[in-house]
Copies of this chain bind each other. A is one copy, B any other.
Amino acid sequence: MIVKNHVTFVYKQSFSMEQTDKKQQLKLQRELELVDIARDIIESEGLNALTMDKVTERCDYSKGTVYNHFSCKEDLLVAVSNEGLKDLQQLFGKLNDFKGNGREQMMGLQIAYLYFSKLYPSQFMCVLSVKNPAILKRTSEKRKREQIELEIALEQRAHEIVNSAINNGELQLSPEREVKQVTFANWSQTFGALVLVNAAESLVGLQGIDVGKEFFTNAFILNDGLNWKPLSSEYDYFKAIERLKKDVFFEEEILISEQNIPSPKTALL
């Protein structure tokens, strides 16, 4: 009896677990489906056009079910942003086979971010919008945790490059500076430039400025300032940019040109 019970119990437990797993799987899958719908809406009609009603009518579920997945509209928005971060991670992944010195590797990350903002401008705006405390405040803990994990993963990638550069002597940090400061400097600079450039096409400060050139100039100056060798004056980093464009991100180049984005050539150097 005990054994039987035990066996039964185990069986039940196991079965139940399987069931639960399957359910979880289905739930996750449906969540992605909903996020995809939201992404489509945002990408085609803009951030303002995203409404829960619209998501509901485009999917096979009811409003209540949608709200079963996302606690509120903001929660959905963060989910979209997180999916965007995963896309960015994918782009980072394409750099795995890219050979180059530390600064070139770091430039790889920056270019990946640039492509991300060009390919999915509305997605990028989501990532930005989600930095608004008013939105973050209403987001579920689960979603915020996911966001944090994704950001750690992205940051980690930059940390590794910096660490590696220190190890092979390209970069020497003065005692008062740390790896994370180098990452932060590069990250905030890239992010700021992308926001200013992408966000408002009408931003006057940028008129008469060549976006791609500015973007890389910033990076050159910054890492020269860190005395990260080789300096931009003693090495041709534009070759690396060309390689990144032609070897690593050629698919993205095609996508961008197909989407008929105005002068991608200028925008990307």
Interface residues of A (CB under 8 A from B): 46-49, 121, 125, 128-138, 144, 148, 151-152, 155, 177, 180-181, 183-185, 187-193, 195-196, 199-206, 208-209, 214, 217-218, 220-226
Contact = CB atoms under 8 A, between A and B. Distances in A.
Given A181-B217, A184-B218, A217-B181, A148 B202 contact: yes
A192 B193 CA distance: 7
A200 B191 CA distance: 14
Given A47-B134, A155-B204, 18 more contacts: A46-B133, A46-B134, A48-B135, A125-B133, A129-B129, A144-B202, A148-B202, A181-B209, A185-B217, A185-B222, A188-B189, A188-B195, A188-B218, A189-B189, A189-B222, A191-B192, A191-B195, A192-B192
B188 A133 contact: no
A203 B187 CA distance: 13
Nearest to A131: B199
Contacts of A199: 131-133
Given A46-B137, A201-B133, A221 B225 contact: yes
Contacts of A138: 48
Contact of A188 (B151, B192, B204, B223): B192
Contacts of A49: 134
Given A131-B196, A131-B200, A202-B148, A218 B185 contact: yes
A181 B125 CA distance: 24
